[in-house]
Structures are given as C-alpha cells and as structure tokens.
Amino acid sequence: MIVSTLKNVKLPNLYVRMLQRFASQANNPSPVDANKSLSEFRKVYVEFLPDPTVEFRNPIREKLERLDMLARRAHIDIPEFYVGSILAVTSSDPHSLGKTNRFVGICIKREGCGLRAKFILRNVIDHQGVEVLYEMYDPALQKIEVLRLEKRLDDELMYLRDALPEYSTFDINMEVEILPEGSPVPVNPLKVVLKPKPWLERWERQNLKGVEEFEVSPRDRERAEKVATPWLKYDLMKNYMKTIPEEEQSEIFNEIQAQLQQLELTRKKMKRKRSFVKPFKLG
C-alpha cells in the first residue's frame, strides 16, 4: 500500500528497494524472534515505536524514519540501556575540527521517538552538576558505551538534581562492568536522599519510589492532596490513547527484526574480535 502511495513521489532507489522489501515482509509476516519477546523489543528499542498522539501520526514518515534509524545503526553501535544506566558518549566537537569530547554520566531521562529520540546524562564534576542532552541518532555521535547496565525504581531520575551530589558523581575513567550474557538487567533498589528545600520541582506531589522519605509540612501535604489525581490510573481510555496497540507494535517489530538481529550479531562478532589478542613470540 505504501509503495503504491509513493508512485508519484521521487525517492532514492535505495529507499524504494527497502520499502518494497518491507512490503513483501508485511504480506508474509513472520513472528517476532523467540529469543526476544514483544515486551523485550518494546523495552530495548522503544524509540522505534511512533508517537501515540493521533495528531502526530504519519505512517509514511514513520516508515521512512525507521529506515534512517536502521541505516544509522549500521554505522554506530547503539547498545541497550535504560534510565539509571551509566554511559560514556563520545561525540565530535562542532567548534574544533577533528577533536572529540567524551562525557560519562548516569542516564536520568529518555524521551522522544523516531529520529527525535533523546537522552540526558548527568555527572558532578568539580562539585558542579553537569548535564548533557544527546540526540540518539545525531551524526555527531561517534561512540556510545554502557559502563554499567542497570535500571532504577523510577522511570525518570530528574530528582537527582535536588539530591546529594554523591548520587550523581561518577569517575570519568570508570571501567566497563561486564554483565553475563543472557542474564536479566538488574534493578538498583537505591533510594537517594534529597537536599533541603528549595527544590526545582514539587517532589512531594509525585509518587517517587527511589527517594528516601522526607518531611513535608502540613500545608504542602494538604496542597498535594488537593491536586492529586489517583483515579487517572483507572481511566482505560486515557491509558489506551497513550499507548500503541499491541497489534501495531508487533507489525512494526516484525518489519525491522531481521535488520536488528543482523546488527546485533555483527556487534557481538566485533566485541569478540576486540576481546581476542593475537599471541606473539617472545625474544
């Protein structure tokens, strides 16, 4: 259907061939790989899912973006990581030709979808909190390393801005902590301690699991109870409008699973190749 829709649109031959291949795969869909269930694909490659807002949906644009994302992943290894993982990102310096910058920090937020996927890293350097916003598919990114793969209790860690510096301080020369292949991603149950007010946000109004209990004045507690909306979690229609239907998710991942599996196999081969050191004769 999409190929027929694009008959009057001039596209590069590469895009046309890839669209034709995807159309043939859609006519003969194959189930998602047994090694990775639909839920695992949804967590690892969350940026491949489109924006659920109806006003922003465009099937042709979304398919072309997925092609660009796969093409970008063929040039740079974008590993699996979550909010709470510690990353090291190497990017080219736009103000100095030929030079690169490497930043180490904890991922405190992931947002966006498609080519607009972003993530924020935070670290405390010289007693100063530093945050860097990276676009995941930015051509300026040269390398993304996962130094420690783990999850946290909350979906966002923006409260680290108001927490003690020790919870956001990481060595810039930190070594990679290897996680055994096939083992589940660990969840760090650490609960941080917030500094006294003033805060950047009203954390007492949010249901935070990764923060130690803190004192709240009766006035703030009363205001928090007034603006609380505990019934929204039971609003089925609102929750449905914020998600992509499972059938559509399965169709998207069936479309791109072959390319993602090939990229993952190539990444594993390169990893084994880098870890092998050829012996040499002494003397």
Cβ atoms of residues 193 and 163 within 8 Å? yes
pLDDT at residue 41 in the model? 77
Each residue of 7-66: pLDDT tens digit? 454 555 555 555 555 555 444 444 444 445 667 778 889 999 999 888 888 999 999 999
Nearest to 136, CA basis, from 121, 151, 149, 123: 121
Residue 207: Cβ within 10 Å count: 8
pLDDT at residue 36 in the model? 57
Each residue of 134-191: pLDDT tens digit? 999 999 999 999 999 999 999 999 999 999 999 999 999 999 998 887 889 999 999 9
Residue 168: Cβ within 10 Å count: 21
What is the distance between the alpha carbons of residues 261 and 267, in angstroms, rounded to a whole number? 10
What is the distance between the alpha carbons of residues 133 and 183, in angstroms, rounded to a whole number? 29
What does the DSSP 8-state code read for residue 268? H
Q: Where are the domains of the chain?
A: 35-251
What is the distance between the alpha carbons of residues 274 and 113, in angstroms, rounded to a whole number? 32
pTM: 0.80
Mean pLDDT of 221-238: 88
Band of pLDDT at residue 238, cut at 50, 70 and 90: confident
What are the DSSP E strand ranges found in the chain?
86-92, 100-111, 118-125, 128-135, 141-148
Residues 6+ apart with CB under 8 A from 22: 2, 63, 255
Cβ atoms of residues 139 and 115 within 8 Å? no
Domain 35-251 has CATH 2.60.40.10: no
What is the distance between the alpha carbons of residues 46 and 55, in angstroms, rounded to a whole number? 20
